[in-house]
Amino acid sequence: MLLLVLSALLLLFCNLDVWYFLRGVQVFVEAWFLPRIEDILAEQSIDGMVLPHDLDYLGHMNNSRYLRECDFARFHHYMRNGLFMASRKLGAKMVVGASTIRYRRSLAFREAFQIRTKVLGWDEKAFYLEQRFVSKRDDFVSAVMLCRQNVVGSSPESIIEFIYKKQIECPLFPEELKHWISFISASSQALRAESGLEDKNKRRGSTPLGLLYTTQNWLCFH
């Protein structure tokens, strides 16, 4: 019987990222019992530590782990400011449309850090967020990520109005965010042209707006 259970667990761990789902449950439970954040633009933080399964061959936190940790931090953020439950009630889904991460200094084994997440603004289709990995050792920003969270089935304005029962004016976008959005638009246009969609749209007399689902990692050491 014990051998059967062990075999089932081995099969489960080999075919499913069990730790990912367990971590998701942990984040959900923690955020559920924390006080609600009423300001959608307020920065929130979540603590983390570099563990053995986060390491690469150089003994640093693997590049892909940063993106994974950002997923959990955004979920925690949406749980506390009401975006997650509001989108569910409106029948909407929030999916990552684009992300760019800039690495500034490696996070070492057992190094404690915070992920500080905040909403920078929104447009008719997406929320834009910044996420920072801040070392607890010296408050150095080890990595910074920009994320476009597309809203499918609704709109950011509708979700915000559902939460706060009023419209909230979007703040002015920072310059770096404006440049990043321009990059996304240029990349999307180039890919449509490459695949021939631009010519097809011109013949039809319309140009629908497509969503770009891409992640670009910029590596920069200081």
pLDDT value of position 220: 36
DSSP E strand stretches across 72-213: 93-103, 112-122, 126-135, 141-152
Distance of alpha carbon 150 from alpha carbon 156, whole angstroms: 9
Q: What is the DSSP letter of 26?
A: H
| pLDDT value, residue 198 | 62
Which pairing describes strands 44-49 and 126-135: parallel, antiparallel, or unpaired? unpaired
Quote the pTM value: 0.83
In angstroms, the CA 115 to CA 73 distance is: 7
- The length of the chain in residues reads 222
Report residues of the chain scoring pLDDT below 50. Answer: 206-222
pLDDT at 180: 96
